[in-house]
Amino acid sequence: MKAVIISVGTELVTGRCVDTNAAWLAGQLVHLGISPIRNVTVGDEVEAIKSAIELALAESDVVCVSGGLGPTPDDLSRHALAEAIGQSLIEDADTLSQLEAFFDALERPMPESNKRQALVPRGCHVIPNPRGTAPGIHFRGPGAQLFALPGVPAEMKATFETYVRDLLADTRRTVCPGSARLLCYGVSEAWIGEVLADLMTVESNPTVGITASEAVIAVHVHATARDKAEAEVLVDSAAAEIRARLGHACFGIGSDTLQLAVVRLLCKRRLTIATAESCTGGLLAACMSDEPGSSAYFMRGYVVYANTAKSDLLGIPHAMLEGHGAVSEPVANEMALRCREKAGVDLAVSITGIAGPGGGDPPRKPVGLVFVGLAHDTGVIVKRVLLGSHLTRGEIRDRACKTALNLVRLHLLDVVV
Amino acid sequence: MKAVIISVGTELVTGRCVDTNAAWLAGQLVHLGISPIRNVTVGDEVEAIKSAIELALAESDVVCVSGGLGPTPDDLSRHALAEAIGQSLIEDADTLSQLEAFFDALERPMPESNKRQALVPRGCHVIPNPRGTAPGIHFRGPGAQLFALPGVPAEMKATFETYVRDLLADTRRTVCPGSARLLCYGVSEAWIGEVLADLMTVESNPTVGITASEAVIAVHVHATARDKAEAEVLVDSAAAEIRARLGHACFGIGSDTLQLAVVRLLCKRRLTIATAESCTGGLLAACMSDEPGSSAYFMRGYVVYANTAKSDLLGIPHAMLEGHGAVSEPVANEMALRCREKAGVDLAVSITGIAGPGGGDPPRKPVGLVFVGLAHDTGVIVKRVLLGSHLTRGEIRDRACKTALNLVRLHLLDVVV
């Protein structure tokens, strides 16, 4: 079964608001085994809403419209629906008395304009709204059915959950979906695309797709089957194959974060950690204290932004700072070593780099050059990365933290880095 | 002039991601005097993208497509565009050498699949991407022009800003819009609504609206006029009136942050600052090192997460930690004082609190209880705040930092807090 989602609102089409309803509705439909094929956003105009509805009814089995059911003159979804299906609007007596009861309960007079909300195209059903005054409308056409829902997210969700979901769940499902998301760091999207190329053909089941966000690459697996168990088997076996191909590049699933992957490994081995940061200025410490209960493994952080802080707090020799520069392999090495010693922890991570936009001295020390150090029980590892001057200061700081977290993760997995 | 925005991505159409690109692009177009009439989201399928492009080219003057320009097999926007305009894809030599240079600068080999990104439909122009490997594509048709932009928000914005905006700004405009955004902290949305009630009527020009995000409240002013100068006068006079009514609650405009407001005041007075944090675990230090050039004022940060770190690094007496607890007014006071002394700075800020979700001991020490200290040349201020246990751990840590930044800001403005 295919679905089209229509979002109505001039505030959406002009970009004053980000539309979150469409993604929520799409997720719900996918969960019910229905495939959203398109989302269309139009302004508060009868013609635009009407033609979006006509096209959607012709091309899909389920149409969800959100917005345009309020009491003000710019709420036009019910009029557009009436025109699209060639029916007139009639006043629904039950709805009118429910609206009156709603205002009575709040001890407020009902504004005249709310009466519009009792208008429904002939032959349609009213969907009760447990969270507000805008009732939804259910149209059952010969080929497709349409649900017009309120635009306020809480009301849209409430009307969907109390009426639409059960109704769609009762529809005989032809397909049952399953999905998984595998998260990777430290490899390129292109590399993953090459490694998984044979799995990424459009017609396959499961389908495999790749997205990237803030240098974390997600591999999405989506399967459809006749029942949930079968869908799960399809997803699980594809995910296992993908995980095997990606190896240690894959750090988690679902909404995991790199810090969570590190935390799990630290807790498993009962290890403690401390941080010493220059260019990231506390971001790595903030990552390490992100999870509840972090006092079990995260002890302290040195934010040694100024060179005097590096020598005062960690005892980095002045001669080393002057000779090699603060952004150098020896300084990263020394920061990690001294931090581990002073904090009395199992692992110490250091970061020193040039976050930019100024301060670079190419080609030897360009913006985006970062050294990450990790002191452990038998030595120190220092990793040099060029994060690229095309990134913003914020992105370089973020990637520097992620590089450090990934170094700790790979070390704890005994991967040679 | 009318515009259609097309968002491409199976992750968008199935609701795995909320599409923020469409709203951003719509806002930019509105700002240029162009009216977005529709936004269509389709999955990674050539046919779906192609028909969305064909319809958009027929119905509007400007088409912006975002997404589907990556290096992997599911990136199909360039193929769909080529089919829609009936041209074949050819390899652009300049783009290919720029891609090679991009990877050279990062000292990485270029994956074979990135070569796809140098393919452009014949007759189209390449839009350089200063932030990544996916170049955009500009098609100038007989009736409409189309810009295909990368899907990663930072890259989409960069390609729009460096190429598309100037090109569209040269096009003749009919109405000229103007807008401003004033940012507030430490007061409620309802209070601002009351203070500005008479300015918030729907039909007025400028219009005034309020939104809240992560405890920062934004007042939006939007005006339309026949020309830019007239629109600016309308916006400026309304913004001045609003600013006068809001007083010190308003900390900035546009995309300012609280830390930027603090940094400006520190720089103006040539003051230095250091941080001592417990529950925020480095977030405040990260805020203080957020801006380029922060080494001029931010010296160091103590992330004293464990109690031993509090005594080792700052010399907080064990008796005080045991007697009052780490989350207490005397400890916040002492952390700020000792931090200022040890770091040799003008101002030292401390944070200690219960970020949760565990660790609360209500009613005396509930989750969300935070003490913020500020040591300055003539004394220490400690502010106690209850951030509320309805907030998540992340939100409590964020609000604790903002409370600290706002305390510093108001102190530097000589406002009694």
In chain A, pLDDT over 90 holds for what percent of residues?
Answer: 76
For residue A158, pLDDT over 80 is answered with yes
**A257 lies within 8 A of chain B by CB:** no
Rounded Cα–Cα distance for residues B218 and B216 (Å)? 7
CB B380 within 8 A of CB B398: no
| B19/A24 touch (CB, cutoff 8 Å), yes or no | no
The residue type found at A190 is: A
* pLDDT for res A174: 62
User: pLDDT tier at A172 (50, 70, 90 boundaries)?
Assistant: low
- The C-alpha angle A389, A395, A397, rounded to 5 degrees, equals 95
Q: Which strands, in side-by-side order, build the sheet including A207-213? A: A207-213, A216-225, A176-184, A250-253
Residue B389: what pLDDT? Answer: 73
pLDDT level of residue B204 (50, 70, 90 thresholds): confident
Q: Please check the confidence at residue A335 and state whether its pLDDT lies above 80.
A: yes
* Total number of residues shown for chain B: 417
Residues B154-165, mean pLDDT to the nearest whole number: 94
Written as one letter, the residue type at A177 is P
Confidence tier at A193 by pLDDT (50, 70, 90): very high
Q: Where residue A313 falls among pLDDT bands split at 50, 70, 90?
A: very high
Q: Is the pLDDT of residue B201 over 80?
A: no
Vertex B201: Cα angle to B195 and B204 (nearest 5): 120
Q: What is the dihedral of CA A136, A140, A143, A149, to 10 degrees?
A: 0
pLDDT band, residue B209 (cuts 50/70/90): confident
B161 contact partners, CB below 8 Å, separation of at least 6: none
| pLDDT score, position A395 | 95
Q: pLDDT higher for B39 or B203?
A: B39
Measured between alpha carbons, how far is A284 from A17 in angstroms, rounded to an integer? 33
B354 pLDDT more than 70 = yes
Integer Cα distance of B381 and B373 in angstroms: 6
Whether A190 sits inside 8 A of B288 (CB atoms) is no
Mean residue pLDDT across chain B:
93
Comparing A111 with A45, the larger pLDDT belongs to A45
Instruction: Give the residue-averaged pLDDT of B268-290.
Output: 97
Q: Quick check: B315 contacting A, CB < 8 Å? A: no
**Which of A30, A37, A275 is the closest to B48 by Cβ?**
A37
C-alpha A159/C-alpha B353 separation (Å) is 40
Q: β-strands A119-121, A89-91: how paired?
A: antiparallel
Q: In what order do the strands lie in the sheet with B298-303?
A: A379-386, A369-376, A347-353, A273-277, A298-303, B298-303, B273-277, B347-353, B369-376, B379-386
Alpha carbon distance B69, B83 (integer Å): 15
Burial group, residue A89, by CB count within 10 angstroms (0-12, 13-18, 19+): middle
Q: What is the pLDDT of residue B49?
A: 97
Q: What is the pLDDT of residue B179?
A: 85
* pLDDT higher than threshold 70 for residue A111: yes
A379-386 vs B2-8, strand pairing mode: unpaired
- Return d(Cα A51, Cα B311) in angstroms, integer: 69
3-state secondary structure of A367: coil
Q: What does the pLDDT read at residue A70?
A: 84
What is the share, in percent, of chain B residues with pLDDT greater than 90?
75
DSSP, res B109: P
Domain ranges of chain A: 2-170, 176-253, 259-412
- Neighbour order of strands in the sheet with B136-140: A125-127, A136-140, A145-149, A62-66, A2-8, A35-42, B35-42, B2-8, B62-66, B145-149, B136-140, B125-127
Binary contact (B358, A292; C-beta < 8 A): yes
B39 CA: distance to closest CA in chain A (Å): 5
Identify the band that residue B313 occupies on the pLDDT scale cut at 50, 70 and 90: very high
Look-up of token digits 């401003």: B180
pTM: 0.80
A283 phi and psi angles, rounded to 5 deg: -65, -40
pLDDT band at A393 (very low <50, low <70, confident <90, very high): very high
Reported CATH class of domain A259-412:
alpha beta
What is the per-residue pLDDT across A66-101, written as a single tens digit (0 to 9) for each? 999 988 778 899 999 999 999 999 999 999 998 888
Which chain A residue's Cα is nearest to B280? A286
Give the model confidence (pLDDT) of B53-99 as tens digits: 999 999 999 999 999 999 988 999 999 999 999 999 999 999 999 99
Q: Do the chains contact at A289 and B282, CB–CB below 8 Å? A: yes
Q: How much is the pLDDT for A74?
A: 80
Determine if the peptide bond prior to A130 is cis (ω within 30°): no
A393/B292 CB distance under 8 A: yes
Q: Count of CB atoms within 10 A of residue B171's CB?
A: 13
Tell which residue, B318, B278, B317, has the closest CA to residue B301.
B278
Q: Taking residues A103-113, what's their average pLDDT?
A: 80
Give the model's pLDDT for residue A388.
84
Pseudo-torsion of CA B366, B367, B368, B370, nearest 10°?
70
Helix, strand, coil % in chain B, rounded to nearest 5: 40, 25, 30
pLDDT for residue B151 is more than 70? yes
Span A235-265, pLDDT tens digits: 999 999 999 999 999 999 999 999 999 999 9
Q: How many CB atoms lie within 10 A of CB B75?
A: 25
Say whether pLDDT at A382 is over 90.
yes
> In terms of CATH architecture, what is B176-253?
2-Layer Sandwich (3.30)
Same fold, A2-170 and A259-412: no
- The DSSP secondary-structure symbol of B365 reads B
The pLDDT, as a whole number, for residue B174 is 60
What would be the CATH architecture of the domain defined by B2-169? 3-Layer(aba) Sandwich (3.40)
Question: Based on the number of CB atoms within 10 Å of its own CB, is A247 exposed (0-12), middle (13-18) or buried (19 or more)?
Answer: exposed
**Interchain pair A36, B29: CB under 8 A:** no
Of B16, B48, B292, the CB nearest to A358: B292
pLDDT digits (tens, 9 = 90+) for B162-188: 999 988 987 655 667 788 999 999 988
For residue B134, the number of C-alpha atoms closer than 13 Å in the C-beta half-sphere is: 27
Total beta-carbon pairs less than 8 A apart between chain A and chain B:
270
Mean pLDDT check: name the lowest of A149-153, A200-204, B377-381: A200-204
Tokens describing residue B211 = 């939104």
Vertex A395 angle, CA A192 and B96, to 5°: 50
As a whole number of angstroms, the longest Cα–Cα distance in chain A is 87
Dist CA A182 CA A24 (whole Å): 21
Q: Which residues of B touch A19 (CB under 8 A)?
A: 18-19, 22-23
Question: Mean pLDDT throughout B124-139?
Answer: 92
- Categorize the per-residue pLDDT at A340 as very low, low, confident or very high, splitting at 50, 70 and 90: very high
Pick the CATH number of B258-412 from 3.60.70.12, 3.40.190.10, 1.25.40.390, 3.90.950.20: 3.90.950.20
Residue A369 has pLDDT above 70, yes or no: yes
CA pair distance B386, B384, nearest whole angstrom: 7
Residue A220: its chain B contacts at CB < 8 A? 10-11, 16
The band of A134, judged by pLDDT with boundaries at 50, 70 and 90, is: confident
Contact B305 A290 (CB under 8 A): no
Per-residue pLDDT, A11 = 86
Report pLDDT for B214.
84
Superfamily (CATH H level) for A2-170: MoaB/Mog-like domain (3.40.980.10)
Count, residues in chain A:
417
Question: How many Å lie between the alpha carbon of B304 and the closest alpha carbon of chain A?
Answer: 5
